[in-house]
């Protein structure tokens, strides 16, 4: 009887040791790097700050495309960098404004629920600031 209990304890201990060794090894395989997916672009995290000149240029691009929000916003001066939230807010406001303006356009003339010109302006402004998600 003691032999059976002892064998069971040894087997349980060995199984626990193997499970402990396997978990960290398998956890090491998981990474936070974006993985490419067919048909999609890799999402790169937004920077923490953006250059004031890039923000001002993006603001100008959006204002020229017809964004009243961008036209009313103030250019950044006296600073070299600004928080990325300045840029993401500007892009989101222009995107929403353009979608509202372009909602009656036929679907063939739209991309992401806005005119192709507005879509290109928003994405050009985002690229200027180095922002991928807004």
Give 134's pLDDT tier (boundaries 50, 70, 90). Answer: confident
Cα–Cα distances in angstroms (integers) from residue 36 to residues 26, 44, 73, 123, in the given order: 21, 11, 36, 20
CA–CA–CA angle 42, 45, 50 (5° rounding): 125
pTM above 0.85, yes or no: no
Higher confidence at residue 29 or residue 78?
A: 78
| Token pair recorded at residue 123 | 């994405």
Give 15's pLDDT tier (boundaries 50, 70, 90). Answer: low
Counting residues of the chain whose pLDDT is more than 70, the rounded percentage is 67
């Amino acid at each position: 009887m003691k032999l059976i209990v002892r064998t069971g304890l040894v087997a349980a201990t060995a199984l626990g040791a193997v499970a402990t060794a396997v978990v960290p090894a398998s956890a090491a395989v998981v990474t936070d790097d974006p993985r490419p997916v067919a048909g999609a672009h890799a999402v790169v995290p937004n920077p923490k700050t953006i250059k004031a000149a890039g923000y001002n240029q993006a603001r100008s691009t959006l204002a020229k495309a017809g964004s009243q929000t961008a036209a009313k916003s103030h250019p950044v001066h006296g600073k070299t960098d600004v928080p990325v939230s300045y840029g993401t807010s500007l892009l989101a406001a222009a995107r929403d404004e353009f979608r509202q303006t372009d909602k009656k356009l036929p679907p063939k003339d739209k991309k992401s629920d806005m005119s192709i010109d507005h879509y290109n302006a928003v994405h050009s402004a985002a690229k200027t600031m180095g922002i991928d998600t807004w």
